[in-house]
């Protein structure tokens, strides 16, 4: 079974079921119409009462509240009063303290509601927030700076208006006075002649006179002694130089040309020639030195120690007699050697440069298939010998001989058994210089 639908509707009346109405159930049916209308009225009344309760709809007027109410104010103001609706209620409000003591102030702080929240009596520009004015120290500094800029680097005796006025003779017409005074003076000139002066030298004349006087004073003095400073330095800056020199010379001996002239005892010939020397305090003349050397220096010999000289290269080559020292360079002059499988040794020049050369070589394959000495002989080849080595094929069994020919100072030919190219191998020794 379903409930009839309800809507908030207050119908003007309740439907009467007529005798002619056909019974019809369900929503909107005749049989349910009265019930629907009553239900709708109930829903309407419920909604209207709810709106009155929650204040959505106003109710009818009353002349007095059932219970009086107290109206209270707080915040910037405070106060209260009882109200029951029968008449006006007047409430006296008390303004809340702003936290600022009572008094007279030159600077106050006001909030957006127009209430004073702070107050003070500043005594400085900064206290009032003024930034376009100087403080006393800043004003004093600005004045001092302006005065300093005005005075600039003026001397201490002319750095005030009073001193400047005194310097101008307290003459308010100083410029006129000076102009009148200058009118009686000669025009400014740049030369003595411009002023008509004849008893003074011009610059060129003065320079010429000075140069002439200096030249006469210097005369032909050398460049290093042509100033008083240089002369003073040369004299050791001694203001009594003459006396100093006279005193120094007084302690010197007269000039002489011999040791005896200076009263100096010299060694005798006996002193000079003495083997061990008998006096080491006497100087020797050139003659005594020569005598001493001649007494002690003798030619060296096998049993005598003395002086000798180096033999010249020619004397070394010629075998000159005498006890001569030999220079190592001369002794080894011309010596050379190479101690290798194919090598040589060359005696020094003073032994005629005799050479011995040796080499292992293969048999020549023809009359122009030369073999070469390790180095060419400088002058001549005296002779050569070649012996077959053991690695020559069949050399021992065949007992074959060799033929050797010296072609020139650097080349030679050789063959085994008189035929070329037999595969022979031999050891060669040659002599020459």
Task: Decide if 62 is inside a domain.
Answer: no
**Same-domain check for residues 319 and 386:** no
Residue 69 reports pLDDT greater than 80: yes
For residue 360 the two structure tokens come to: 């292992």
Write the pLDDT tens digit of every residue in 6-27.
Answer: 777 777 777 677 777 777 777 7
Task: Decide if 102 is inside a domain.
Answer: no
Task: Decide if 322 is inside a domain.
Answer: yes
Q: Which range has the worst mean pLDDT, 19-28, 171-180, 340-349? A: 19-28
Which of 335, 315, 333 minimizes the C-alpha distance to 325?
315
Mean pLDDT of 317-345: 83
Mean pLDDT of 142-148: 82
**Same-domain check for residues 344 and 401:** yes
pTM exceeds 0.75, yes or no: no
Among 52, 69, 89, the domain boundary falls at 52
**Same-domain check for residues 339 and 406:** yes
Q: Which range has the worst mean pLDDT, 17-21, 177-181, 300-304, 387-391? A: 300-304
Most confident among 195-199, 204-208, 274-278 (mean pLDDT): 204-208
Q: In this predicted structure, what is the pLDDT of residue 413?
A: 93
**Same-domain check for residues 349 and 293:** no
414, 429 in Cβ contact below 8 A? no
CB neighbours of 411 closer than 8 A, spacing ≥ 6?
370, 371, 372, 373
Task: Decide if 16 is inside a domain.
Answer: yes
Residue 204 reports pLDDT greater than 50: yes
**Same-domain check for residues 278 and 318:** no
- The residue behind tokens 């007269």 is 254
- 22 vs 339, residue with greater confidence: 339
Task: Decide if 113 is inside a domain.
Answer: no
Query: Confidence class of residue 368 from pLDDT cuts 50, 70 and 90?
Result: very high
**Same-domain check for residues 305 and 342:** no
β-partners of residue 119 are 108
48, 17 in Cβ contact below 8 A? no
Domain extent, residue 289, equals 260-297
Phi, psi of 305 (to 5 degrees): -80, 130
Query: Is 403 exposed, middle or buried (CB count within 10 Å of its CB: 0-12, 13-18, 19+)?
Result: middle
Among 167, 187, 213, the domain boundary falls at 167
Task: Decide if 70 is inside a domain.
Answer: no
**Same-domain check for residues 275 and 356:** no
Phi, psi of 337 (to 5 degrees): -160, 155
The C-alpha atoms of residue 358 and residue 424 are separated, in whole angstroms, by 17
**Same-domain check for residues 407 and 378:** yes
**Same-domain check for residues 384 and 367:** yes
The C-alpha atoms of residue 403 and residue 409 are separated, in whole angstroms, by 18
Domain count, the chain: 6
The C-alpha atoms of residue 391 and residue 398 are separated, in whole angstroms, by 13
**Same-domain check for residues 317 and 282:** no
The C-alpha atoms of residue 430 and residue 342 are separated, in whole angstroms, by 12
């Amino acid at each position: 079974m379903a409930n009839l639908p309800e809507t908030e509707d207050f119908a003007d009346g309740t439907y009467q079921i007529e005798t002619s109405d056909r019974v019809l159930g369900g929503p909107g049916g005749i049989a349910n119409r009265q019930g629907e209308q009553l239900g709708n009225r109930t829903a309407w009344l419920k909604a209207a009462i709810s709106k009155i309760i929650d204040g959505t709809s106003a109710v009818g007027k009353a002349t007095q509240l059932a219970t009086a109410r107290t109206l209270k104010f707080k915040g910037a103001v405070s106060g209260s009063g009882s109200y029951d609706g029968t008449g006006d209620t007047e409430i006296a409000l008390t303004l809340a303290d702003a936290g600022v003591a009572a008094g007279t102030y030159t600077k106050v702080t006001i909030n957006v509601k127009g209430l004073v929240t702070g107050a003070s009596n500043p005594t400085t520009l900064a206290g009032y927030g003024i930034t376009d004015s100087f403080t006393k120290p800043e004003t004093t500094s600005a004045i001092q700076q302006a005065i300093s800029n005005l005075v600039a680097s003026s001397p201490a005796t002319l750095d005030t208006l009073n001193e400047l006025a005194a310097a101008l003779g307290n003459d308010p017409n100083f410029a006129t006075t000076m102009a009148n005074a200058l009118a009686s003076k000669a025009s400014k000139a740049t030369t003595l002649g411009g002023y008509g002066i004849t008893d003074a030298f011009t610059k060129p004349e003065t320079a010429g006179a000075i140069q002439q006087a200096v030249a006469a004073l210097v005369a032909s003095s050398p460049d290093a002694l042509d100033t008083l400073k240089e002369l003073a330095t040369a004299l050791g800056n001694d203001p009594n130089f003459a006396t100093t020199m006279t005193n120094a010379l007084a302690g010197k001996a007269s000039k002489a040309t011999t040791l005896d002239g200076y009263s100096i005892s010299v060694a005798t010939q006996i002193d000079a020639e003495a083997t061990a020397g008998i006096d080491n305090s006497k100087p020797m003349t050139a003659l005594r030195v020569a005598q001493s050397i001649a007494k002690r220096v003798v030619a060296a010999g096998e049993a005598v120690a003395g002086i000798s000289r180096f033999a010249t290269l020619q004397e070394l080559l010629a075998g000159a007699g005498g006890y001569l020292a030999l220079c190592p360079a001369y002794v080894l002059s011309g010596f050379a050697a190479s101690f290798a499988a194919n090598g040589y040794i060359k005696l020094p020049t003073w032994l005629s440069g005799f050479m011995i050369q040796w080499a292992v070589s293969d048999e020549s394959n023809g009359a122009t298939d030369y073999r070469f000495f390790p180095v060419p002989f400088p002058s001549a080849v005296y002779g050569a010998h070649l012996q077959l080595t053991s690695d020559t094929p069949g050399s021992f069994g065949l007992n074959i001989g060799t033929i050797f020919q010296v072609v020139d100072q650097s080349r030679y030919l050789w063959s085994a058994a008189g035929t070329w190219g037999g595969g022979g191998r031999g050891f060669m020794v040659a002599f020459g210089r």
